[in-house]
């Protein structure tokens, strides 16, 4: 019963909400448009956009020791999650069953290692967020819900690893659906927006000849 809902109507709803929600959020941001730039352009802005996109991957040198944990745990989590999401064999099989598209999966051991990296990263980041008075103060419910929901999705996924119980697969899919519905309305949107927003800042300052 629940299984049919999760594999059927719930999935459709989640997919629609996710797709339309994400598009709506992105469009609404782009449709705001830019304020007229009255300054004399020093560069095209393109260089600034690219530079900012690249430089943001590295911590600022003054911040290096203070942000060491964020950087290491952050990379562990995001790279781990990315690899898990797109290169775990069960995910690829799922995408293939839905769309017919397929690509090579990573070996099972790499799958497990990336899952572990992602878990370590996420736990460290979230606990640190709660423990550090500053980040705790500037975190809203959205940040916590996003972290916890992601953790639950990963946990149910790892619980279903044996691929031997329908119930566990359905549970994982259900939590994924919850995440998909939540996604467009939360800061998780940064997954889509981090490149454009870095580009915007970089270009904005770049045109003024300032390194962002």
Partner 1 sequence: MSDKKQSRIRRHRKVAYSLLSLLVLTLVLPLIPYAVAEKDETAGKVFNPGTELWRDVRQRDRDVIGTTQMKSVDAGVLINEYGETWRHFRMQQLVPYGAALMGIVLSIILLFYLLRGPLRLQEEPSGKKIERFTVFERTVHWFTVAIFWLLALTGLILLYGRFVLIPILGADGFGITASACKEAHNLFGPTFLVALVLLFLTFVKDNIYARGDMLWLLKGGGMLGGGHVSAGRFNAGEKIWFWIAIIGGLVLSVTGLILVFSILGQSREIMGLSHVLHGIVALVVISVSFGHIYLGTAGVEGTLGSMTTGYVDEAWAKSHHDRWYAEVKAAEDGSDKIVDEPGLATEGKS
Partner 2 sequence: MAAMKFYCDAERCIECNGCVTACKNENEVPWGVNRRRVVTIKDGEPGERSLSVACMHCSDAPCAAVCPVDCFYTTDDGIVLHDKDICIGCGYCFYACPFGAPQFPKEGAFASRGKMDKCTFCAGGPLPDNSSEEYRKYGANRIAEGKLPACAEMCATKALLAGDADMVADIYRKRMVNRASAALGKGFQLREQNIGSGVDLKGKVTN
Binding site for partner 2 (CB under 8 A): 107-109, 112, 161-162, 164
Q: Is the separation of the CB atoms in 24 and 184 below 8 Å?
A: yes
Which one of partner 1, partner 2, none interacts with residue 31, CB within 5 to 8 A by kind?
none
Which one of partner 2, partner 1, none interacts with residue 193, CB within 5 to 8 A by kind?
none
- CA atoms of 94 and 100, how far apart (whole Å): 9
Question: Per-residue b/e over 77-105, b at no fewer than 16 CB within 10 Å?
Answer: bbebbebbeebbeeebeeeeeeeeeeeeb
Q: How far is the CB of 145 from partner 1 (least distance, A)?
A: 18
Give the residue with the Cβ less far from partner 2, 74 or 90.
90
| CA distances (Å), origin 8, targets 11, 105, 145, 165, 184 | 6, 26, 25, 18, 21
Work out whether 106 is an interface residue with partner 1 (CB under 8 A).
no
Task: Tell me the window of 33-41, 44-52, 125-133, 177-185 that interacts with partner 1 (CB under 8 A).
Answer: 125-133
Instruction: Tell me, rounded to whole angstroms, the distance of Cα 208 from its chain centroid.
Output: 31
- CA atoms of 127 and 72, how far apart (whole Å): 14
Give the residue with the Cβ less far from partner 2, 58 or 109.
109
Q: Which of 27, 85, 138, 159 touches partner 1 (CB under 8 A)?
A: 159
Give the residue with the Cβ less far from partner 2, 69 or 159.
159
Task: Tell me the window of 19-27, 62-70, 88-96, 98-106 that interacts with partner 1 (CB under 8 A).
Answer: 62-70
Work out whether 112 is an interface residue with partner 1 (CB under 8 A).
yes
Work out whether 98 is an interface residue with partner 1 (CB under 8 A).
no
Work out whether 93 is an interface residue with partner 1 (CB under 8 A).
no
Which one of partner 1, partner 2, none interacts with residue 210, CB within 5 to 8 A by kind?
none
Closest-CA residue to 79 (of 50, 125, 121): 121
Closest-CA residue to 151 (of 84, 203, 208, 92): 84
Work out whether 120 is an interface residue with partner 1 (CB under 8 A).
yes
Residues that bind partner 1 (CB under 8 A): 65-70, 112, 115-116, 119-120, 123-124, 127-128, 130-134, 137, 155, 158-162, 164-165, 167-168
């Amino acid at each position: 019963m629940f299984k049919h809902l999760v594999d059927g109507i719930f999935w459709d709803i989640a997919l629609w909400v996710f797709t339309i929600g994400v598009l709506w959020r992105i469009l609404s941001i782009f449709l705001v448009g830019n304020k007229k730039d009255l300054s004399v352009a020093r560069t095209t802005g393109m260089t600034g956009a690219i530079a900012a996109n690249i430089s943001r991957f590295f911590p600022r040198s003054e911040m290096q020791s203070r942000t060491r944990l964020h950087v290491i745990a952050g990379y562990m989590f995001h790279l781990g999650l990315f690899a898990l999401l797109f290169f775990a064999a069960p995910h690829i099989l799922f995408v293939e069953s839905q769309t017919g598209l397929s690509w090579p999966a990573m070996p099972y051991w790499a799958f497990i290692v990336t899952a572990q990296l992602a878990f370590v990263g996420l736990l460290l980041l979230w606990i640190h967020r709660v423990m550090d008075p500053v980040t705790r103060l500037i975190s809203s419910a959205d940040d916590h819900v996003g972290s916890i929901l992601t953790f639950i999705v990963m946990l149910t996924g790892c619980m279903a690893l044996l691929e031997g119980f329908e119930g566990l697969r359905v549970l994982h899919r259900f939590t994924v659906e919850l995440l998909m519905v939540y996604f467009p309305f939360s800061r998780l949107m940064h997954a889509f927006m981090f490149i454009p927003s870095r580009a915007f800042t970089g270009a904005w300052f770049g045109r003024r000849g300032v390194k962002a």
